Amino acid sequence: MRPDERRGVAHIKVSGKGEKTRYIPLHPAAGGLIMDYLEQARHGTDNAAALFRPIRNNRTGNLSQAITPDAVYKIVRAYSRILRFEIGAHALRATAATNALDHQADIAKVQEWLGHANISTTRIYDHRKTRPEDSPTFKVSY
């Protein structure tokens, strides 16, 4: 996995549910960390291969395949347990969406970023309507 360049900005290819493929802009800090990870994991220069690959108990022997969603879940749970709090991979995704919306990201862009087919699914993460300071009450000029 190597980031693709699109309009001068690094993007990563994400394959989601339902065979959906999308290209997500890559934050420069994350890009550097990913490149460090690829070098340390010795994943080589295979641009088409998955970022996270199985290295143990790999029955197929194909190290370019992605780890399964279940493996991601188990890895996140295991590391969170070590850190003495339990969280799932979906909670990390929800936190990222909420954080983006709290920092004025466009909800339609967040929908696309998450790969949601319906914007009502994305609205679950939009807590701006519950913050008093974002109420229309405080937008009125007297």
What digits encode the pLDDT tens for the residues 120-135? Answer: 999 988 877 777 777 7
CA gap 92, 98 in Å, rounded: 10
Half-sphere exposure of 98 (CA within 13 A, CB side): 12
Six-digit token string for 14: 């994400």
Q: Which residues are paired to 15 by β-bridges? A: 21
CA gap 125, 94 in Å, rounded: 7
Ranges of H-type helices in the chain: 28-41, 69-82, 89-102, 107-114, 119-123
- Sign of the CA dihedral with 96 first, then 108, 69, and 34 last: negative
User: Per residue in 40-70, pLDDT tens?
Assistant: 877 766 667 788 877 666 566 666 678 888 8
Say yes or no to pLDDT of 95 above 50. yes
DSSP string, 33-44: HHHHHHHHHT-T
User: Per residue in 12-38, pLDDT tens?
Assistant: 888 777 778 888 888 888 888 888 888
Average pLDDT estimate for 101-112 = 92
CA angle 27/3/73 to nearest 5° reads: 75
pLDDT score for 139: 78
pLDDT score for 1: 44
Domain ranges of the chain: 1-67, 68-142
pLDDT score for 58: 59
pLDDT score for 105: 93
Q: What percent of the chain has pLDDT over 70?
A: 84
CA gap 41, 84 in Å, rounded: 26
Average pLDDT of every residue of the chain: 82
CA gap 101, 97 in Å, rounded: 6
**Looking at residue 21, what DSSP letter applies?**
E
